[in-house]
Structure 1
Amino acid sequence: MIVLRILLGRILSLVPLLLGVTLFVFVVMRFSPVDQAVAALGDTNPTDAQLEQFRRENGLLDPWPVQYGRFIWQLLHGDFGNSVITKQPVGATITTALPLTVQLTLMGLVIAIVLGLLFGIISALYRDRWPDQLIRVVSLAGVAAPAFWIALLLVQWLAVGQGLFPTSGYVSPQDSLGGWLNSMTLPAVALALPVAAQLTRIIRTSMVEELDKDYVRTARGGGLPPVVVVGRNVLRNALVNPLTVLGLRVGYLLGGAVVIETMFALPGMGQNMIQAVGDGDTAKVQGFVITIAFMFVLVNLIVDILSVIVDPRLRSHS
């Protein structure tokens, strides 16, 4: 019941946040120098009268509050509007592109968590010795390196140099599971390494703090094996802070996917968004940005709930 109450409170607190996101996106797009009428009719050399008619038919001349109210009403009904270029529903494009972005983000997240846990634990257990020093230097370099730069190095080394992976393109898992893994590995690794480096440093710090506490010394003094002490107590307590930070890192993964998808020619949300920006397709850009923002909010809600489940102390403060 406590978890359900906290869940309900978190969901209610997200309502104004989501409204703020939609308002921000709406206002930014209205300040865009792109004229939707020109973007839609530009290839036909329209007259001023035709441009004016397009604006009137599509409600572009209505007051902003009216346009925003109509925009929210459409969103509540799952309608992102129609592309001004293709005249196709934006929701259909999102439905097609979103699964690939989710695949890339989840694959990058799994890689980041596995590497972060592995090297964070090793670094903490070998504190101030050469494995710790080496991991700290490498993780610092990983934090400083942007995902697109890592992607370039991986393509140069593993794709062009060794020929182990394709440089671009996407294979659906329905067509070939092996081909899908082959096409997604380099993008996912490039996306994951900066996050893995950050998690490594956070997990190492949390583990070191827990290992210095009295209950660990008592458990070790009582003869409990180190594996039991670390696995049963230290690791669980040390993962509370990294779990909280992980929600923000997922936002980084979603944002990084925009660049990585473009570099590897993956037909996900990122590549479609870049193309929509180039075409001046305001409806598509709005739909993509709001979808990614909603995903980020949803992930952080899930992380909040997991944090409450893992750390009972948070329940007493919620």
Structure 2
Amino acid sequence: MIAIARILARRVVLLVPLMLGIVLFVFLVMRFSDVDPASAFFQGANPTPRQLHDFRQQNGLLDPLPVRYVHFVGDLLHGDLGISALTRAPVVEQVTTALPLTLQLTFLGLGIAVVLALTGGVTAAIYRDRLPDQLVRVVSLTGVAAPGFWLALLMIQYLAVDRGWFPTGGYINPADSPSGWLRTMTLPAFALSLPVAAQLTRIVRTAVVEELDKDYVRTAIGSGLPPRVVVGRNVLRNALINPLTVLGLRVGYLLGGAVVIETIFSLPGMGKLMIDAVQNGDPAVVQGVVLTTATGFVVVNLVIDILYLLVNPRLRDAAR
């Protein structure tokens, strides 16, 4: 545990310059964009040049960029993401309202992807070059080639419109109706997760096949251990390193893909918040959503790093 704590502390320290770099990148992109925060704040009100100048002066928009960046970082450290030009409400309130739904969708999709990938990949590896393996490979290849938005439209047409098994969109809070929440989230989660599950399935299959060909597996089975015990206790643990690497990278896809999926299924999450902010010219909200999403991606990858250490003790020794 001491080794894990030491390595975790090292990872957290390395996150500080990474987060500062992300904040700097978002800051510069937003400051050099064509959207003027002052004009956005007064949109539809026909402000005078004097009003625009006073707004820029009061909000530090006339300060040099380094000074504005320091103030920007200071505001972020205090949990201040700015004020929405459209609603005049703090951006952090809107993000706090929309974020739980996006996290529900992302982690539900992640769970589905992991279950499908492990089931399909291990099955294909055990029955390699036989019918189950061929079927899994065909299905996974099809899933890799199919974009999530296309799958979402197909699901809406055949499972929601034609058969009425699921709603075409909308959201029900799980506190109000768990079954209603599950019905509204099933199609979006599957549409989001299937491309990731297909890619992970191929990687899991390859990793498990490589482990099954190693000498220790043949020795363990030859000594009388049941194959399912060898696969579950040893093979999977050693084979999950590469899939975990890809999984950490694909979480970014899940978070980004949620923007499109939420729009298709009319889910009031971060995706809809982002689209509305872009369409209405609300730079503070766009900035807040991007920073929140980037922070979530960094945190998830930190969790993946911890999982590396738990899955493979040799990584702990190498990182000391």
Report the TM-score range of the alignment, normalised by the length of the smaller protein.
over 0.9
1:56 aligns with 2:71: no
CA distance in 2, matches of 1:65, 1:275: 30
Q: Quote how far apart the aligned CAs of 1:131 are.
A: 1.2
Moved more, 51-60 or 285-294: 51-60
Q: Which amino acid is the alignment partner of residue 35 of structure 1?
A: D
What does residue 134 of structure 2 align with? 133
CA distance in 2, matches of 1:31, 1:164: 47
What does residue 102 of structure 1 align with? 103
Q: With structure 1 as the length reference, what TM-score do the two structures score? A: 0.98
3-state SS of 1:242 partner: helix
Q: Quote how far apart the aligned CAs of 1:244 are.
A: 2.2
1:146-295 equivalence runs, <5 A: 146-295=147-296
CA distance in 1, matches of 2:225, 2:74: 60
Query: 1:248-273: per-residue Cα shift (whole Å, max 9, x none)?
Result: 11111111011111111101111001
Q: Quote how far apart the aligned CAs of 1:48 are.
A: 1.9
CA distance in 2, matches of 1:40, 1:82: 9
CA distance in 1, matches of 2:175, 2:96: 17
Q: Quote how far apart the aligned CAs of 1:280 are.
A: 1.3
CA distance in 2, matches of 1:57, 1:218: 74
Moved more, 81-90 or 48-57: 48-57
CA distance in 2, matches of 1:41, 1:315: 55
3-state SS of 2:43 partner: helix
3-state SS of 2:236 partner: helix
What does residue 36 of structure 1 align with? 37
Q: Quote how far apart the aligned CAs of 1:49 are.
A: 2.0
CA distance in 1, matches of 2:281, 2:268: 19
CA distance in 2, matches of 1:297, 1:281: 25
Number of aligned residue pairs: 318
Q: Which amino acid is the alignment partner of residue 186 of structure 2?
A: T
Q: Which amino acid is the alignment partner of residue 224 of structure 2?
A: G
Q: Quote how far apart the aligned CAs of 1:223 are.
A: 2.0
Q: Identity of paired residues, percent?
A: 66
Moved more, 222-231 or 103-112: 222-231
Q: Which runs of 5+ in 1 are unaligned?
A: none
Q: Which runs of 5+ in 2 are unaligned?
A: none
3-state SS of 1:313 partner: helix
CA distance in 1, matches of 2:175, 2:313: 42
Q: Which amino acid is the alignment partner of residue 154 of structure 1?
A: M
Q: Quote how far apart the aligned CAs of 1:150 are.
A: 0.8
Moved more, 50-59 or 150-159: 50-59
CA distance in 1, matches of 2:104, 2:157: 24
Moved more, 43-52 or 170-179: 43-52
Q: Which amino acid is the alignment partner of residue 212 of structure 1?
A: D
Q: Quote how far apart the aligned CAs of 1:95 are.
A: 0.8
CA distance in 2, matches of 1:186, 1:111: 11
CA distance in 2, matches of 1:220, 1:55: 73
Query: 1:88-147: per-residue Cα shift (whole Å, max 9, x none)?
Result: 111111111110001001110110011001000110011011211111111111112111
Q: Which amino acid is the alignment partner of residue 37 of structure 2?
A: Q
Q: Quote how far apart the aligned CAs of 1:30 are.
A: 1.0
What does residue 116 of structure 2 align with? 115
What does residue 10 of structure 1 align with? 11
What does residue 20 of structure 2 align with? 19
3-state SS of 2:21 partner: helix
CA distance in 1, matches of 2:284, 2:109: 29
Query: 1:144-163: per-residue Cα shift (whole Å, max 9, x none)?
Result: 21111110111111011111
Moved more, 138-147 or 114-123: 138-147
CA distance in 1, matches of 2:26, 2:177: 38
Q: Quote how far apart the aligned CAs of 1:45 are.
A: 1.4
Q: CA RMSD in A?
A: 1.0
CA distance in 1, matches of 2:49, 2:14: 46
Q: Which amino acid is the alignment partner of residue 167 of structure 1?
A: T
Q: Which amino acid is the alignment partner of residue 78 of structure 2?
A: H
Q: Which amino acid is the alignment partner of residue 242 of structure 2?
A: N
Q: Quote how far apart the aligned CAs of 1:289 are.
A: 0.5
CA distance in 2, matches of 1:31, 1:261: 29
Q: With structure 2 as the length reference, what TM-score do the two structures score? A: 0.97
CA distance in 1, matches of 2:273, 2:93: 12
Moved more, 179-188 or 238-247: 238-247
CA distance in 2, matches of 1:306, 1:79: 32
